[in-house]
């Protein structure tokens, strides 16, 4: 999927939110961008921090770089998903989206270098590593809209534009760099936190069968209820969800700790709400 299509889908999905939701989402994203700005500023103002981050970046394989951007993408996407799919408020947070300062510095530096290379393709080849920090600082100071969402005092529309641009670019990077590691539709387990959060409900009326074992769920018995409201015997559904995160009846997806699987799960909802683009 190209970046233009991705942006269109996000814009269409955002159009379904209410004004208060848009305001709340923009405020959340602004907070994220301020943290990005702080980390980039710290990187470019400290020779030691920049050198350590650059060394760490160089030590990563292509797959590890892709995975790092994927985690960053999931962090960003989860905020939009939360507003588009309010029932997720009952679910536990995704621990895979939490980036420590070293990982955040590394992914921001990687994205910044990619953007800088796009605008000045020969510069990184010409300059030595020792001069990269100075030239990145120059680039940042003369660029209003950057991949890292740097900038103060942005309006709601400006913030959302930066957000859309960043999500689209990260998604494109992950699709290209993660080729061979990200297989759409692959089977992934439900996250442990999501499984633990599943409610136990009492069967009010007998006669319904558990589609896994084909036996009746007897009245008064405690069974498991998935978010899609389908019921199963606990002893039947638990072995199921440790292998796959989808409901046996309707294929509704539970959260997963697999980063690529979670991106796919959340993106499907954005696509569905954003007009059903393919």
Residue 114: what pLDDT?
Answer: 87
pLDDT at 182 over 90: no
Tell me the pLDDT tens digit for each residue of 108-163. 999 998 888 888 777 777 767 778 888 888 888 776 444 444 444 567 888 899 99
Place of tokens 């534009």: 161
Q: Where in the chain is the domain with CATH 3.30.40.10?
A: 192-241
pLDDT of residue 150: 44
Give CA angle at 60 (191, 42), nearest 5°.
Answer: 90
Of 107 and 128, the structure prediction assigns the larger pLDDT to 107
The residue with greater pLDDT, 243 or 206, is 243
- CA-to-CA distance for 64 and 59, rounded, in angstroms? 9
pLDDT score of 151 = 47
Q: Domain 192-241, what fold? A: Herpes Virus-1 (3.30.40)
Q: Please determine, for residue 171, whether its predicted confidence score (pLDDT) is greater than 60.
A: yes
**Which pLDDT does position 80 carry in this prediction?**
92
Q: Name the burial class of residue 103, with classes exposed (0-12), middle (13-18) and buried (19+) by CB atoms within 10 angstroms of its CB.
A: middle
pLDDT of residue 183: 64
Q: What is the mean pLDDT of residues 11-34?
A: 92
Report H helices in the chain. Answer: 3-14, 19-45, 47-59, 62-84, 101-119, 123-126, 129-142, 156-177, 192-196, 234-241, 259-273
Contacts of 154 (CB under 8 A, 6+ apart): 30, 33, 162
Of 68 and 180, the structure prediction assigns the larger pLDDT to 68
pLDDT the model gives residue 148: 44
Arithmetic mean of pLDDT over the chain: 85
């Amino acid at each position: 999927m190209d970046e233009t299509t991705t942006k269109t889908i996000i814009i269409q999905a955002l159009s379904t939110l209410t004004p208060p939701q848009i305001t709340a989402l923009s405020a959340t994203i602004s907070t994220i961008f301020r943290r990005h700005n702080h980390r980039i500023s710290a990187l470019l103002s400290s020779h030691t921090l920049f050198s350590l981050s650059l060394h760490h970046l160089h030590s990563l394989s292509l797959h590890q770089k892709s995975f790092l951007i994927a985690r960053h993408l999931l962090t960003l996407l989860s905020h939009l998903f939360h507003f588009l799919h309010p029932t997720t408020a009952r679910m536990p947070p995704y621990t895979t989206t939490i980036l420590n300062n070293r990982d955040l510095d590394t992914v921001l530096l990687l994205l910044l270098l990619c953007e800088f290379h796009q605008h000045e393709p020969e510069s990184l080849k010409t300059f030595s590593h020792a001069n990269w920090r100075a030239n990145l600082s120059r680039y940042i100071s003369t660029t209003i809209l950057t991949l890292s969402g740097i900038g103060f005092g942005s309006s709601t529309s400006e913030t959302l534009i930066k957000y859309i641009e960043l999500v689209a670019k990260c998604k494109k990077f992950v699709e290209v760099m993660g080729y061979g590691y990200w297989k759409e539709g692959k089977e992934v387990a439900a996250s442990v936190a999501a499984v633990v959060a599943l409610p136990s409900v009492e069967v009010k009326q007998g006669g319904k069968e558990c589609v896994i074992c084909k036996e009746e769920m007897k009245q008064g018995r405690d069974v498991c209820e998935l978010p899609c409201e389908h019921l199963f015997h606990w002893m039947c559904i638990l072995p199921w969800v440790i292998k796959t995160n989808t409901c046996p009846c309707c294929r509704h997806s539970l959260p997963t700790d697999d980063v690529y699987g979670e991106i796919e799960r959340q993106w499907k909802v954005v696509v569905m709400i954003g007009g059903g683009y393919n």
